[in-house]
Amino acid sequence: MSSNLPDARIDAAARAWGAALRRIAVAEPCIRQEAGANETYMVVTGSPTYSLNGVYAFDRTPDAAQIERLAARAADAARSFPGTLPWSVQVRSDPDDRVRDVALRHGLTKQSQEPFMVRDLTSAPPVLGDAGAMTVRAVSGAEQDLYVRALADGFGVPKELFAPLFTPPVLDAAPDVTAYVGEVQGEVVSTAMTVLTEGHVGIFNISTSPDHRRCGYGGRITEEAVARGHAAGASTAYLRSSDMGLPVYASLGFTVAEHWTYFTD
């Protein structure tokens, strides 16, 4: 299930993931962001979850000095929000001791990994299967509450985790940012989001409500999102997967390109 794409294509997809995060950050004025050298960025969204706040390094060899500088900025930005805002340092592949030392100095002592998956849409174009009774449509900023509630239900978390990030300005940032819901008889059963950047479509926010799982809705809305990105000119799709979602995405033609590392407290 490992990717056979050349390193240059994987590098471009990784940079596209970073560009997607920054595109969302630009759309929402409350999100703090700063660019460093060597593909290193700080983004603090205000969402109370570590994965959506911190320092992100997209170069194959993370720049420890840049991570150190932006980690200090991330810590300051996190303290500016009410309460205790968790944040992280995220890098591609296995970091060296210098990066680990930076994380440790900021109290980020836990280390975990997550698969980064890619799909070559020129050799594996999307094929839409039977969605049954589910229809997929884009949502606007006026439907923020509907989208955030459905997303939270699908992930089994409070909606406050998503509300600071998926705001009306973000949901209205089309055509490059588009949120989708899958509905059955008017009830939202699944969610997705795409971000289009320079020939890449990023797949985000794939979720299905607990009462509607094992019906194929998650796979179907993923393929719909990929298809719409491909129609808009994307030649590569990418996503970050949980271990639980890995078999579903593999069945849709995604392969594991890398494992990205998180440092959290």
Residue 253 lies in a domain: yes
Tell me: do 176 and 208 sit in the same domain: yes
Instruction: Evaluate whether residue 224 is within a structural domain.
Output: yes
Same domain? For 253 and 153 the reply is: yes
For residue 187, what pLDDT is reported?
96
Average pLDDT of the segment spanning 42-52 = 93
**Domain count across the chain:** 2
For residue 177, the model assigns a pLDDT of: 96
| pTM for this entry | 0.94
- Please compute the mean of the pLDDT values over residues 100-107 and round it to a whole number: 97
Give residue 175's pLDDT band: very low, low, confident or very high (50, 70, 90): confident
Does residue 185 share a domain with residue 250?
Answer: yes
DSSP per residue, 26-61: HHSTTSEEEE-SSSEEEEE---SSGGGEEEEE-SSS
What's the CATH code of the domain at 230? 3.40.630.30
Residue 19 domain flag: yes
Question: Are residue 249 and residue 154 in the same domain, yes or no?
Answer: yes
Mean pLDDT for 207-225 is 93
Supply the range of the domain harboring residue 202: 134-259
The pair of three-digit structure tokens given for residue 40, joined into one six-digit string: 């290193």
pLDDT at 229 over 90: yes
* Run of H or E including 78: helix 64-79
Tell whether the model's pLDDT for residue 49 goes beyond 80. yes
Q: Is the pLDDT of residue 223 over 70?
A: yes
* Per-residue pLDDT band at 93 (split at 50, 70, 90): confident
CB 43 within 8 A of CB 33: yes
